Structure 1
C-alpha cells in the first residue's frame, strides 16, 4: 500500500514538473537563470499560466463568434477558435517578452504604452463575443422584436410603393376581362340593345293602347260606359274600328320584333369578335405588367426574408444589446462592467509585465541582466580574439611573403651573375679566335695596334658590369662586331 502511494505521489510530481516546464516555455523564461534563482520559478510558471488562460478565453470567444456570425458547425468553429487562441497566445507572449526595462520609469512606461494599447484592443475584440454570450437570452428577445419591427416597416413600404399599388386594380381588371371574354352574346345582351329596347317599348305602348281600345269597345257595347246604350251602334262601330287598328299596329310591331332581334344579335356578335380581340390585347398587357410587378414584389419579399433570416449575426446582436442597454440602466451598467472585466482579463499579462517593469528589478531580472552582460562580454572577447588572430595571421603571411621575395631576389641575382660569367668566357674565346685569324692574315705589328688586348677587354667588361647587371644590356662585350 505504501509503495503504491509513493508511486502515485511520484507520478503527480512528474506530471506537475512537466506542466511547469511547458508553462515556462509559454512564458519565455530563461531556464539557466532559474537554476540560480529557483524561487523565481513559481512567478514565471504563473506568468505562463496567465498567458495560457487568456489564450483559452480567446479560443472560446472565437469559437462562439464563428458559430454565431458564420454559422459554422460546432467542431469547425472549435477548430477555428483553437487556431485563434494560438495566435493570441503567440502575440501575448511576444508582448510580454518584448516589454523592456529602461533606465527610467518614464522611458519604460513610454515603451510599454503601445503594447498596452494593443493588448487593450485585442482584449476588446475577444471580450465582445463573450459579452454577447452572457446576455444571449435578452439579446435573442430583442432581436425578435427588431425583426418584427423591420417586417412591419417593410410591409408598409410595400403598401406605399407606387410600383406595387396598382397590382390589385390590375388583377380586378384581368378577372373582369377574362369573364367578359369567356361569355358570348346572350339574349339579355340582345334585349338590352337600344334598338330592341325601343322596339319593345313601342310594342308595349301599342299593346297598352289596344287593350284600352278593346276595353272601351266592350264597355260601349255593354252599355256600362260611353253613351250607355247597349248593342252596336255608330259609337260602338268607331271604337271597334279603333280597336282593330290598334290591334293591327300591335301585331305589326310584334312581327318586327324577331327580325330586329336577329339583326341585333348578328351585329352584336360581329362587334363581340372585334371587342374580344381588343380585350385579349388589353388582357395580355395587363397580365404582363401585373406579372412583372408581382415578380419584383416577390423578389423583394424573398430578399427581405433572407435578410431577416440572417439578421441573427454579431452586428444585429450588438445593435440589440445597445438598444436594451439604452432602455435599461441596470443592464447597461452590467454590460459595461462585464465588458471592462473581460477586456482587463485579456490585458492582464501585459499589464502585469508593465507593472513589474515599473517596480524595482527582481532577482530574476537582475540575473537575466547579468547573463546578458556576460554574453555580451563573451561576444566582445570572442570578436577581439578573432580580430587579433586574424591580425597575427596577416602579419605572419606578410613576413613570409617578404622572406620569399628576398630569397627569390637573391636567387635571381646569383643566376644573373652566372649568366654574365658565361657570356664573359664566350666573349674571351671569340676575341682570341678573331685575333688568331687576324694574325694569320696581317703582320703582327699592325694587328697589335688595331686590336685591343684581352686584358683591356676584360677591364672594359668589368667596368661595364659594375654599371649594369642586366644581362640584356646591349653594351656587353661581344654584342657587336668591330668595324
Structure 2
C-alpha cells in the first residue's frame, strides 16, 4: 500500500520529503496523482487504437501507446506540479487559464480515437455503405470508359432484331397460308378451301421466307458469335481495371475515413451527436480535474512548507549574491589602494 501511495505522490508532482511531513495532505495528493495516472492510461489506450487503425499492426500500436501515454502523463504531471497555491485566488486562476486551455486540447485529442472505438459498429456500417457507393461509381466510370461494349451490344441487339423481324414475317406468311388452305376469308386470302392457285403462291412465299430466315440466322449468328467474343475480351479488360481499383476501395478503412464516417453519423443522428459531446465533456472533466482540484482545495500545510522552502532558497541566493558583491567591492578597493601606494 505504501508503494502505491508513493507512486501516486510521484504522479502528482509533489515533493515527497516535504509531503511526508504533512500527513493531512497525503490523501489529497494521492487523489491528484491518481487522476494524472489514469488520464495518461486513457491517453495510451486512445493513442494505441488510433495508430492501430492506421497501420493495422498490434506491435506498432503498443509501441506508440506506451510513448503517447508517457508523454501525456508527463505533460499532465508538469501542469499540476507547476501550479503553486498562493493567497491570491485571482492570480491562481489567471496562471491556471493557459494550463486549462492546454488540458482541454489534450482531452479532445485523447477522446477522439476512443469515440471511434465506441461507435465502431455504426462506423463499419457507414464505411460499408460508402464502399458500396464507391464500387457503383467505379463501375459506372469504367462503363463510360469502355463504351466499345455498349456499341457492340447495340450491334448485337440490332442483329437479333433483324432475326426477330424475319421470324415475324415468316409467321405472318404461315398464317396467311393456313388461312388460304382452310378457307378463312380475309383481305389477303380468297376464302376458298383447298390448295388452289393462291394457296400455292402463299406456299412459295412461305418457303422463300423460311429460306431467307435460315440464311439470315446463319449469317447473323456468325456475326453475333464474333461480337460476343469481342464483348468478352472487352469485359475481361474492364474487369481487370476494376480489380486494380478494388484494393483501394476495400482499403477505405483508415483513420481519416473513420473520422469522416463518425462526422456523418453525428450529423445524421442527434443521439450520436449528443453522445460524442458527452464523451468529449467527460474527457475534458478528467483532464482538467487535477487542475481544478489544485485551484479549489484550500491552501494547506504542504503549500506553506513548499513556499517556505522556496523562500529559503531565494533568501540563500540573495545572501550569496550580496556576499559576492560585497567581496568583489572590497577586493576592488584593496587593489585600488595598493595602486595608489605604489611609487
57, 60, 73: which one pairs with 1:76? 60
| Aligned counterpart, 2:313 | 375
| Aligned counterpart, 2:196 | none
Q: CA deviation at 1:303?
A: 5.0
Q: 8 Å contact 2:142–2:238 — kept in the other structure?
A: no
1:80 to 1:381, Cα distance in 2 relative to 1, 3 A: same
| Aligned counterpart, 2:207 | none
151, 165, 186: which one pairs with 1:169? 151
- Equivalent-residue separation in structure 1 for 2:127 and 2:15 (angstroms): 51
Q: CA deviation at 1:373?
A: 1.5
Q: For structure 2, list consecutive stretches of 5 or more residues without a partner in the other structure.
A: 156-225
- Equivalent-residue separation in structure 2 for 1:304 and 1:337 (angstroms): 39
Q: 8 Å contact 2:86–2:299 — kept in the other structure?
A: no
Q: For structure 1, list consecutive stretches of 5 or more residues without a partner in the other structure.
A: 1-15, 174-282, 410-483
Deviations 1:423-475 (A, max 9, x none): xxxxxxxxxxxxxxxxxxxxxxxxxxxxxxxxxxxxxxxxxxxxxxxxxxxxx
1:387 to 1:324, Cα distance in 2 relative to 1, 3 A: closer
Moved more, 85-94 or 343-352: 343-352
Corresponding pairs, count: 269
Q: Secondary structure at the match of 1:347?
A: helix
1:307 to 1:370, Cα distance in 2 relative to 1, 3 A: same
Deviations 1:17-76 (A, max 9, x none): 23333332332212343243222122223222211111111111111111112212x133
- Equivalent-residue separation in structure 1 for 2:287 and 2:50 (angstroms): 17
Q: CA deviation at 1:81?
A: 0.4
Q: CA deviation at 1:113?
A: 1.8
Q: Which has the larger radius of gyration?
A: 1
Q: Secondary structure at the match of 1:151?
A: helix
| Aligned counterpart, 1:395 | 333
Q: CA deviation at 1:342?
A: 2.8
- Equivalent-residue separation in structure 2 for 1:20 and 1:348 (angstroms): 19
| Aligned counterpart, 2:208 | none
- Equivalent-residue separation in structure 1 for 2:298 and 2:30 (angstroms): 20
| Aligned counterpart, 1:34 | 19
1:392 to 1:81, Cα distance in 2 relative to 1, 3 A: same
> Which structure is higher in RCO with an 8 Å CA cutoff and minimum separation 6?
2
Deviations 1:343-392 (A, max 9, x none): 32233333433x33xx5422222222222112111111111122222333
- Equivalent-residue separation in structure 2 for 1:64 and 1:369 (angstroms): 42
Q: 8 Å contact 2:123–2:258 — kept in the other structure?
A: yes
- Equivalent-residue separation in structure 1 for 2:271 and 2:251 (angstroms): 29
Q: Does 1:340 align with 2:281?
A: yes
Q: 8 Å contact 2:8–2:30 — kept in the other structure?
A: yes
1:302-381 alignment to 2 at 5 Å? Answer: 302-353=243-294, 355-356=295-296, 360-381=298-319
- Equivalent-residue separation in structure 1 for 2:244 and 2:88 (angstroms): 62
- Equivalent-residue separation in structure 2 for 1:172 and 1:156 (angstroms): 18
Q: CA deviation at 1:91?
A: 1.3
Q: 8 Å contact 1:126–1:343 — kept in the other structure?
A: no
1:303 to 1:341, Cα distance in 2 relative to 1, 3 A: farther
Deviations 1:83-128 (A, max 9, x none): 1111111111222223355664344323322221111111111111
Q: Secondary structure at the match of 2:146?
A: helix
1:203-242 alignment to 2 at 5 Å? Answer: none
| Aligned counterpart, 1:89 | 73
Q: CA deviation at 1:82?
A: 0.3
